[in-house]
Chain A
């Protein structure tokens, strides 16, 4: 599709997500949104060349052990070893191959290896909590890591974040860039977490919860969780870009 027509370039467009899929920027229960959410309405950005392209970050971005967070130090980290795997898909179920997936997380006790995290839970010298990988030809990714612990924060009285892994993905277009969090099934902390609950639509919210995957557990070694990430899909038919829209 390299057509150049008189009225402009023929470009794909990306479907906008239904209302309720993403959290409102102004979500008062999550206090940090108070001074950080824009108050002016967002201006609609048409999908032109800068929006339908995006960084294709793949090989060259990885170290050898980046997808195994249990092997980045001479000793193994504390905690429950887990395999986290899934597929990166677009909104039409098509895999997104050769695409960078970045994760970061707390250790088994719920502490991040970050200078600002100083709640009384030990740092694990054998765990950095940072991983990267590239999806394969079928959009699959896999990490070996440790199940992160819940951790307290000061958002409200006795606030605890449910266990989660931060995920960052790019897809193939600027419109598809996504940072999210993967949660674990049946977490008793969901009900009191304003970040998890900031997603208005319940079905959308539940898409952030991974699935326990017995078939991918490794006997006498690791539990497994499956987490597919779905990015925005393209409009069915690319249509002509009008010159003066």
Chain B
């Protein structure tokens, strides 16, 4: 009996962004990295009216949440949100999460935009974790030729993770 989803529409940037939204951790935090990228539509045009949200465990793979059966780990917000700018770009400052039981380190990502009637969900994996990624059950469930869309690339100040909503190189999206 869930309430249906609807699009955020073109004016999402009125209601959703927060000043500290993009910074999951404060600037200067040891190990902090920027995850930056561009959201593209099916014509390869950057999406200027979108929003990226991220959710992740801390550097030890722990969540500040009562349903983490290992016990809540207070203090790590774990949540980031950043609207895309006029060039479709977003950036989230965070730390690379630790591994989870049976899963490689990853960050869950929700993408909202005008034209998306429901958020789409994807995951960021990290390129240096070759072994853990190879053993990850979620990555393994994705057709091999599309897995690369879920793995970020190293950049000067962290990682690059572009989102392609449609067409060539379309990002893998999940049914949560």
CB distance from B20 to the nearest CB of A (A): 10
Q: Within residues 188 to 245 of chain A, which ones have a CB less than 8 A from any CB in chain B?
A: 195-196, 198-199, 204-205, 207-208, 228-232, 243-245
Q: Within residues 1 to 33 of chain B, which ones have a CB less than 8 A from any CB in chain A?
A: 1-16, 18
A44, B174: Cβ atoms under 8 Å?
Answer: yes
User: Which of B5, B110, B121, B171 is most buried by chain A, counting CB atoms within 10 A of its CB?
Assistant: B5
Our pick among A43, A49, A244 for the contact of B63 (Cβ within 8 Å) is: A49
A22, B5: Cβ atoms under 8 Å?
Answer: yes
- Chain B: interface size category: 35 or more
B13, A114: Cβ atoms under 8 Å?
Answer: yes
Tell whether A23 pairs with B118 under 8 Å between CB atoms, given A9-B101, A37-B165, A168-B16: yes
Chain A neighbourhood of B102, CB < 8 A: 8, 48, 243
Tell me the nearest residue of chain B to A54, going by C-beta: B55
A102, B15: Cβ atoms under 8 Å?
Answer: yes
A114, B11: Cβ atoms under 8 Å?
Answer: yes
- Whole-angstrom CA separation of A40 from B115 in the bound complex: 17
CB distance from A209 to the nearest CB of B (A): 11
B137, A113: Cβ atoms under 8 Å?
Answer: no
- Whole-angstrom CA separation of A102 from B15 in the bound complex: 7
A44, B5: Cβ atoms under 8 Å?
Answer: no
Tell whether A46 pairs with B57 under 8 Å between CB atoms, given A9-B101, A21-B4, A116-B10: no
B interface: dominant SS: loop
A30, B108: Cβ atoms under 8 Å?
Answer: no
Q: Within residues 122 to 176 of chain B, which ones have a CB less than 8 A from any CB in chain A?
A: 137-138, 141-142, 146, 165-167, 170-176
A195, B14: Cβ atoms under 8 Å?
Answer: no
A33, B67: Cβ atoms under 8 Å?
Answer: no
A27, B117: Cβ atoms under 8 Å?
Answer: yes
Tell whether A52 pairs with B172 under 8 Å between CB atoms, given A112-B11, A116-B10, A229-B3: no
Chain A neighbourhood of B68, CB < 8 A: 49, 53
Answer yes or no: B120 CB below 8 A from chain A CBs.
yes
A174, B14: Cβ atoms under 8 Å?
Answer: no
A2, B69: Cβ atoms under 8 Å?
Answer: yes
A4, B69: Cβ atoms under 8 Å?
Answer: yes
B108, A50: Cβ atoms under 8 Å?
Answer: yes
B118, A22: Cβ atoms under 8 Å?
Answer: yes
B15, A130: Cβ atoms under 8 Å?
Answer: yes
Chain A neighbourhood of B36, CB < 8 A: none
What are 29 A-B contacts with C-beta separation under 8 Å? Answer: A1-B69, A4-B69, A4-B70, A8-B102, A9-B70, A21-B2, A22-B2, A32-B115, A38-B166, A39-B166, A43-B172, A43-B173, A44-B175, A45-B174, A45-B176, A49-B57, A49-B63, A50-B63, A53-B55, A53-B68, A104-B14, A114-B10, A114-B11, A175-B176, A178-B2, A180-B4, A180-B6, A195-B7, A230-B1
Measured CB to CB, the residues of B under 8 A from A are 1-16, 18, 41-43, 45, 47, 49, 53, 55-57, 61, 63-65, 67-71, 77-79, 100-103, 106, 108, 110, 112-121, 137-138, 141-142, 146, 165-167, 170-176
Q: A35-B45, A208-B3 are in contact. List 18 more A-B contacts (CB 8 A).
A: A3-B69, A11-B67, A30-B7, A33-B115, A38-B170, A43-B141, A44-B141, A49-B57, A50-B55, A54-B65, A55-B79, A61-B18, A91-B1, A104-B11, A116-B10, A172-B65, A207-B4, A245-B137
